[in-house]
């Protein structure tokens, strides 16, 4: 056997079949597979597809990075079921919105309206635009966008495996970024394209957790020991835009300053929230101090504006909400960034159908409203924020009045 095996030319089929007809010779099985895979992806893995619904339950509980996929798809399904009969408000935002707004409480305060959330940790502006594109045809009444300087000044690339990726958002992004940036980040854009095309690709992280883990992951105890995260080592930047060129000395200086700022905020936050785990505080500190001015701000602005336009073009009203921050983080942030964000938010609110709710100054919040540095995740803060939003919605003009002429 070894003699026949070692022949390097043994690349031809040895099945002994003759391939006389085109039917026999053609790659028809491959073609059929391709069609079957696409059909399964479109039909079975759509938010209301049978395969997805089977996987949804075990996929529900996981880290913030993937929890959104399952919850958001469920929300989209519910919105489709609710239909245009009811007045519906959809909240788009990150974990600050998710933790702070109580939809059931809002519905009790305003029984004629249904509240749904597409809000979770790590959602970015690109994902919010993609979600808006999915929501827009569903005849909702009001889009609530929770935005702050964290969204405007953070430079992050969209995540292909977030469950939210639409060709419209990707095409617009490619146009705004220009061919050079798209070419430089071609690998990322190809992943985004795959996520736009295949449900299985854009939701694969959640699907992994739906009973497939046993196939592919090992207990991470040893890995955890060797890759310990700390406040000293921020994650590598994943922006479309490189930071402005700096000399080595400048880089060193800025790195030192950033490290000092992270250490200072970490110490203050640890004192303010002694009951919180250090890892959680480290994450928030790193997250909070990654705001800066640069070319990414213009891109972020376009994403925000396009999201608002998407809602307005669908005849929906938009409420921009600026969630409050704990005073410890507020002191650590550059006040000029906040001023710039507020000016921008006010300019957006000048459009018909768009309203702005600035909760930090006008809201009834103090440090006791916070569960941690950024989240109003206790009874008091979340109730206060929900009440403030419902109150503002009541005072907003109705949809018909908001339609542009």
Partner 1 sequence: MVFNSLEFAAFFCAVFCAYWCLPRRAQNRFLLVASYVFYGAWDWRFLGLIVLSTGVDFLIGRALGTAPDAGRRRLLVTTSLVVNLGILGVFKYADWFSASFAALAGRFGWQVDSFTLGVVLPVGISFYTFQTLSYTIDIYRGELEPSRDLLDFALFVAFFPQLVAGPIERASRLLPQIHGARRFDLESLETGGWLVLWGLVKKVVIADNLSLLVDAVYAQGAEPTATQIALATYAFAIQIYCDFSGYSNIARGVAHMLGFRLMVNFDLPYFARGPSDFWRRWHISLSTWLRDYLYIPLGGNRGGRIATYRNLLLTMLLGGIWHGAAWAFVAWGLLHGAWLAIDRALRATPRAPLPLTRLSTWARMAVTFHLVCLGWVFFRAGGFLHGAGLLAGLFTPWSLADVGPWLPSFFHLILPLALFELVQEATGDHFVVFRLPFVLRVVVYTGLCAAVVLLGQDFGQPFIYFQF
Interface residue list for partner 1 (CB under 8 A): 1-2, 4-6, 8-11, 13-15, 17, 19, 22, 25-30, 32-33, 36-37, 40, 186-187, 190-191, 193-194, 198, 200-201, 204, 207-208, 212, 214-220, 222-223, 225-226
Shortest spacing between CB 194 and partner 1, in angstroms = 6
Residue 173 backbone dihedrals phi, psi, to 5 degrees: -60, -45
Closer residue to partner 1, CB minimum distance, 22 or 400:
22
Shortest spacing between CB 198 and partner 1, in angstroms = 7
Shortest spacing between CB 14 and partner 1, in angstroms = 5
Shortest spacing between CB 379 and partner 1, in angstroms = 38
Contacts of 350 (CB under 8 A, 6+ apart): none
Shortest spacing between CB 195 and partner 1, in angstroms = 10
Closer residue to partner 1, CB minimum distance, 175 or 186:
186
Positive/negative CA dihedral, 264, 270, 273, 277: positive
3 state DSSP class of 91: strand
Cα gap 373→288, rounded to integer Å: 9
In terms of phi and psi (left: phi > 0; alpha: psi -120 to 50; beta: otherwise), the region of 363 is: beta
Shortest spacing between CB 186 and partner 1, in angstroms = 6
Cα gap 330→36, rounded to integer Å: 53
Would you say 389 and 357 are in contact if contact means Cβ atoms under 8 Å apart? Answer: yes
Q: Got the DSSP string for 48-116?
A: TSHHHHHHHHHHSS--HHHHHHHHHHHHHHHHHHH-TTSEEEEEEE-HHHHHH--HHHHHHHSTTEEEE
Closer residue to partner 1, CB minimum distance, 102 or 185:
185
Closer residue to partner 1, CB minimum distance, 23 or 104:
23
Shortest spacing between CB 36 and partner 1, in angstroms = 5
Would you say 235 and 157 are in contact if contact means Cβ atoms under 8 Å apart? Answer: no
Closer residue to partner 1, CB minimum distance, 217 or 391:
217
The per-residue b/e assignment along 29-52, b for 16 or more CB within 10 angstroms, e otherwise, is eeeeeeeeeeeebeebbbbebebb
Closer residue to partner 1, CB minimum distance, 36 or 86:
36
Closer residue to partner 1, CB minimum distance, 211 or 397:
211
């Amino acid at each position: 056997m070894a003699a026949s095996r070692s022949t390097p030319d043994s690349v031809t089929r040895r099945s002994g079949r003759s391939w006389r007809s085109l039917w026999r010779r053609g790659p028809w099985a491959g073609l059929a597979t391709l069609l079957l895979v696409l059909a399964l992806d479109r039909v079975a893995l759509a938010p209301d597809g049978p395969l997805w619904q089977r996987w949804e339950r075990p996929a529900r509980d996981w880290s913030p990075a993937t929890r959104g996929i399952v919850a958001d798809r469920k929300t989209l399904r519910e919105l489709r079921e609710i239909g245009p009969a009811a007045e519906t408000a959809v909240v788009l935002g990150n974990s600050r919105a998710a933790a702070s707004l109580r939809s059931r409480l809002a519905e009790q305060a305003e029984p004629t309206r249904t509240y749904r959330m597409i809000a979770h940790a790590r959602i970015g502006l690109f994902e919010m635009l993609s979600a808006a594109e999915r929501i827009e045809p569903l005849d909702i009444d009001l889009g609530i966008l929770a935005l702050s300087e964290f969204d405007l000044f953070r430079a992050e690339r969209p995540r292909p495996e977030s469950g939210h990726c639409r060709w419209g958002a990707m095409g617009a992004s490619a146009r705004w970024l220009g061919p050079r940036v798209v070419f430089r980040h071609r690998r990322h854009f190809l992943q985004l394209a795959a996520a736009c095309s295949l449900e299985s690709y854009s939701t694969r992280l959640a699907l992994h957790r739906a009973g497939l883990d046993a196939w592919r992951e090992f207990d991470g105890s040893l890995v955890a020991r060797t890759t310990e995260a700390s406040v000293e080592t921020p994650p590598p930047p994943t922006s479309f835009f490189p930071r402005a060129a700096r000399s080595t000395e400048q880089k060193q200086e800025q790195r030192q300053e950033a490290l000092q700022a992270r250490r200072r905020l970490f110490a203050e936050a640890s004192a303010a929230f002694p009951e919180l785990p250090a890892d959680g505080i480290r994450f928030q500190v790193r997250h909070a101090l990654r705001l800066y001015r640069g070319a990414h701000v213009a891109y972020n602005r376009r994403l925000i504006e396009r999201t608002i336009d998407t809602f307005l073009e669908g005849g929906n009203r938009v409420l921009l909400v600026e969630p409050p921050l704990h005073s410890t983080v507020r002191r650590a942030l550059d006040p000029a960034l906040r001023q710039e964000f507020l000016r921008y938010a006010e300019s957006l609110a000048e459009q018909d159908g768009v309203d702005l709710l600035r909760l930090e100054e006008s809201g009834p919040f103090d440090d006791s409203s916070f569960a941690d540095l950024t989240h109003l995740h206790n009874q008091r803060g979340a109730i206060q924020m929900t009440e403030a939003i419902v109150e503002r919605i009541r005072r907003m003009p109705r949809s018909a009045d908001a339609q542009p002429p």
